[in-house]
Structure 1
Amino acid sequence: MTQQAAAFSDHLIGDNPLALTNRPVRPDADASRLSRFDDDRWDLTPGIFEDHSTKTSLNFEVFPVRWRVAVKEYFWLLINDETIRPLPAARLDKRLSLRTISFASAPLARVLAWAEEHGIISLNELSPARLDLMLADIAVLDLSNGRKGMMVSETRRLWAYREVVPEILRMPEPQPWLGELTRDLFAEAPKRPGNRTPRIRDETLVPLISWAMRFVDDLSTDITTSFHEYRLLLQQEDRFRPPGVGRGTPGGTRQERLKRVLDHFRRDGTKLPGRTLPDGTREIRWQHLGRLTYTLGVFTPSTTET
């Protein structure tokens, strides 16, 4: 670590500054509750001015203990240092947003966990050969290509800060992976168009097909017939009848038509159209009875049937 970086590190650890020291804070933020360097979790939400923004924070407990203080110094720099240090080949001419910084936590934690597992005590040990080994291990992780790429990107971002980070995080001079594009590093195959939905298991698919066939063979005729009859009944109402088509009415008086419908219900052992209420009484659907008897507008819901 340079002498300047060492002095800076002593300042952070000794003075316990605000996590958002050099960031504007919302006027409604409680100054007494703003996160400080020593906290294990930094709440970045007071520095995000978008309305209805979700809570954004950094949880340092996800990092291996031996790396944790150094990582906090690094993230404090990402938040507060005004010097722009873009990723190699990146077109960035402004500071990182707090939300972007929060997204860097998980991939960097995975990188440092890998270093811990391989007995690396300082990132200065990340030689090209070890970087290639790390890349090979990243490639076989059960993660999306996007998350794998973020691990590579955050490794490169850490390299871009090598002059100011603590010694334990300071990577060697050569640029990681010689600046190759992430998609070239992983040799991603071109994406094939098509259905990528996982296949339904046979024990689920076979009963579904069986019920679909039964629906078509056994049930659909009754359903479509009833629906066709219902559409004809609806045409008694002006709003459902095609323009220029008059209302068709079967022969007989209203009383005769009502008697025919009631006789039909009695013969089939069915109840008047309606619903049974919680107290056991039956509420008659007079409008539908009016459709069946072609007497819409005559019946009124004045009684219930028990």
Structure 2
Amino acid sequence: MLGLDRNGRRKSDLITALRVLWLFSERMPAQCRLDWDFPWAGRTAKEVVGAPAGTERENKTPRIADDTMEALLAWVLVMIEEAGPDIRDAWHEYHQLEAGRHHSQTRCTGTREERLRVYLSYCRKMGVPQGVNAS
């Protein structure tokens, strides 16, 4: 690849593609595996071809540690399972209020502010916390 008649950026892209193939070789059929040691260990593709390092498009943010990522993903699942339904219901109710189709607004017409006041009054009368589906 280094001897190809291509610019440094293109050579760098080709080396990156080769590196990806090598990294996934364990998951490939035996006849498709690259049977040599990891090429250019510790060097970026741009360093290998001598191309200018970095462009505006590259992500140079350090990877998140595996332990941190696992904890974050576990927390996301808790949030989706525990808070997700409430958020979904509130979003649905918000759209009903905005459109004037919420069940508490059947006798209410007027501006958004007027409809919201009627809804809040209804919630207070019914003992329903605002934002929780009253049905």
TM-score (normalizing by structure 2): 0.36
Q: Which has the higher contact order (CA 8 A, sep 6+)?
A: 2
Higher helix share: 2
TM-score (normalizing by structure 1): 0.18
